Amino acid sequence: MHILTTGSERLPLTDRPTGDDYPPLPYGLTLDQAVAVHTHEVKAGDLVLADFCDESGARRAGHVPTPYLADPHALRYCPCKGCEECDDVDTWTLGDHSRVADVGRRFVCLSPSERSESDEDNEPCAIELRNRPMAVIPADVVTTAATAEKATRPPVRTYKVTWTADFEASSPEEAAQLAYERLKSYATDAWPPELEVTDEGGQTTVINLNAKSQTEEGR
């Protein structure tokens, strides 16, 4: 249990649920780094973790299944191409045009939907009440963790990969076509070739993919 504060209000942030629907936080980030802010105070790049409901008494934290980086904006500037949340807002305002200004005063979109017109499975826009308390990890902390995570990755290098095989042919073009057909066969029913991999320093390693395939089949 983590206790966050915004003004004089104390907000209990429970431990994050576990399971397939709640993946771990990104590298190096924990709930210990969370702070509470109101929706209209969320900054671009903040990692949104949870919101706090409006129930009487102690507010209950509703964890976001997949925390997202905030890109806050007013609803009238939403770049969404159409999502369930925005459609609901449009329906509500069409019922009474006086509500248009009310929507602008009361709500903020923290992250626009990335749904294309042909994809109905993506998350809708994250629309929250302007004064609702939110648990976030500040953008500078998120950036620092991302930089540290990159430093742990193996360096990316350029490798030259070559494959050698002999073909009887009447021309270079025919030999190239035979080689092409052989390469395509490796993706179906033939064993893969031995490959020579040369790194930037000129060191060559022979990778026997046949041996790798046999090892995997024997597991």
Write out pLDDT tens, residues 42-87: 999 999 999 998 765 668 899 999 999 999 988 777 777 767 777 7
Domain count, the chain: 2
Give the model's pLDDT for residue 94.
67
Q: What angle do CA 95, 91, 115 make, to 5 degrees?
A: 165
How open is the CA angle 187-193-195, to the nearest 5 degrees?
Answer: 120
The yes-or-no verdict on residue 95 having pLDDT over 70 is no
* Residues 65, 16 within the same domain: yes
Range of the domain at 17: 2-152
Q: Are residues 213 and 130 in the same domain?
A: no
Residue type, 219: R
Q: What is the pLDDT of residue 183?
A: 86
Residues 108 and 195 in one domain: no
67 and 164 part of one domain: no
Give the list of residues 6+ apart from residue 190 with CB closer than 8 angstroms, or none.
Answer: 182
Let me know: does 86 contact 113? Beta carbons within 8 Å: yes
Q: Which of 121, 152, 183 is the last residue of a domain?
A: 152
What's the whole-number average pLDDT of the chain? 84
Cβ atoms of residues 146 and 26 within 8 Å: yes
Looking at residue 219, its pLDDT comes to: 47
SS3 12: strand
Q: What pLDDT, on a 0 to 100 scale, did the predictor assign at position 208?
A: 85
Q: Are strands 194-198 and 204-208 parallel, antiparallel or unpaired?
A: antiparallel
Q: Which two tokens stand for residue 158?
A: 């350029």
One domain for residues 146 and 166: no
Flag the least confident range among 16-25, 38-47, 73-82, 148-157.
73-82
Last residue of a domain, one of 109, 133, 152: 152
Same-domain pairing of 136 and 167: no
Q: In terms of domains, do 194 and 166 share one?
A: yes
Alpha carbons 106 and 44: distance in angstroms, whole number: 19
To 10 degrees, the CA torsion angle through 198, 204, 210, 215? -110
Of the residues 96, 127, 152, the one at which a domain ends? 152
CA angle 9–69–44, rounded 5-degree value: 75
- Which residue from 17, 15, 29, 24 is spatially nearest to 145, judged by alpha carbons? 29
pLDDT at 170: 94
Identify whether residues 127 and 212 lie together within a single domain.
no
Give CA separation, 46 vs 61, 111, 137, 143, in Å.
17, 11, 6, 9
Q: Which contiguous run of DSSP H or E holds residue 107?
A: strand 107-111
118 pLDDT tier (thresholds 50, 70, 90): very low
Residues 100 and 27 in one domain: yes
Residue among 39, 67, 43, 73 at smallest CA distance from 54: 39
For the entire predicted model, the pTM comes to 0.68
* Phi, psi of 11, deg, nearest 5: -125, 115
Query: Are both 17 and 72 inside the same structural domain?
Result: yes
Residues 19 and 103 in one domain: yes
Do residues 114 and 210 both lie within one domain?
no
Mean pLDDT for the stretch of residues 136-149: 96
